[in-house]
Amino acid sequence: MGRIRAIRSVEGMDIPDTTAQARGDSPRATIVPDRVPWRAITVFTVLALGLAWAVASPLWISGRGLADPAFMLYALGMMYTPTVAALVVVFFVARPRSIPRQLGLWPLRPVRRTLGFTAAAFVGFPVLAFLAMLLGQAMGLLRLDLVGFSGLAELIELQGGAAIDDAGLRIAAITTLVFIPVNIVISSAAAFGEELGWRGWLLPNLMPLGTWPALVISGVIWGVWHAPLILLGYNYLRTDAIGVLLMVGWCVLLGVLIGWLRLRSASVWPAVFAHGAVNASVGGLTVLLAAGTPDLSVFGTLLGWSGWIVLAAVILLLVVIGQFRRDVLVRATDSAAAPLPEASPLPEASPLPEPVEGPDTAASRAPASVSSATAGDVR
Cβ contacts of 13 within 8 Å, gap of 6 or more: none
Average pLDDT over residues 198-224: 98
In contact, 122 and 181? CB cutoff 8 Å:
yes
* Banded pLDDT at 352 (limits 50, 70, 90): low
- The C-alpha atoms of residue 15 and residue 288 are separated, in whole angstroms, by 62
| DSSP structural state of residue 201 | I
Determine the pLDDT at residue 347. Answer: 52
Average pLDDT over residues 362-368: 42
Three-state secondary structure call for residue 31: strand
Is pLDDT above 50 for 258?
A: yes
Determine the pLDDT at residue 124. Answer: 98
Sort residue 243 into left (φ over 0), alpha (ψ -120 to 50) or beta. alpha
Q: pTM (2 decimals)?
A: 0.81
Determine the pLDDT at residue 332. Answer: 59
- The C-alpha atoms of residue 318 and residue 120 are separated, in whole angstroms, by 14
In contact, 141 and 305? CB cutoff 8 Å:
yes
In contact, 256 and 219? CB cutoff 8 Å:
yes
Cβ contacts of 205 within 8 Å, gap of 6 or more: 32, 33, 36, 37, 40, 41
* Banded pLDDT at 17 (limits 50, 70, 90): very low
* Banded pLDDT at 364 (limits 50, 70, 90): very low
Angle at 372 between CA 371 and CA 373, to 5 degrees: 90
The Cβ of residue 122 has, within 10 Å, a number of other Cβ atoms equal to 20
In contact, 117 and 267? CB cutoff 8 Å:
yes
Three-state secondary structure call for residue 333: strand
Determine the pLDDT at residue 157. Answer: 83
pLDDT (tens digit, 9 = 90+) per residue, 122-173? 999 999 999 999 999 999 999 999 999 999 998 888 877 777 888 889 999 9
DSSP per position, 113-182: HHHHHHHHHHHHHHHHHHHHHHHHHHTTS--B-TTT-HHHHHHHHHTTPPP--HHHHHHHHHHHHHTHHH
With DSSP H G I counted as helix, E B as strand and the rest as coil, what are the percentages for the chain, rounded to 5? 60, 5, 35
- Percent with pLDDT over 70 in the chain: 79
- The C-alpha atoms of residue 106 and residue 121 are separated, in whole angstroms, by 19
Determine the pLDDT at residue 330. Answer: 64
Average pLDDT over residues 271-289: 97
- The C-alpha atoms of residue 262 and residue 331 are separated, in whole angstroms, by 11
The residue among 199 and 341 whose pLDDT is bigger is 199
Average model confidence (pLDDT) across the chain:
85
Q: Shortest CA distance to 265 belongs to which of 109, 114, 116?
A: 114
> Domain residue spans in the chain?
26-333
Average pLDDT over residues 86-111: 94
pLDDT (tens digit, 9 = 90+) per residue, 324-345? 998 888 665 544 333 334 444 5
| DSSP structural state of residue 32 | E
pLDDT (tens digit, 9 = 90+) per residue, 25-78? 455 688 899 999 999 999 999 999 999 999 999 999 999 999 999 999 999 999
Determine the pLDDT at residue 19. Answer: 33
Determine the pLDDT at residue 156. Answer: 86
Average pLDDT over residues 165-193: 94
Is pLDDT above 70 for 84?
A: yes
Least confident of 93-107, 252-266, 322-336: 322-336
Determine the pLDDT at residue 336. Answer: 36
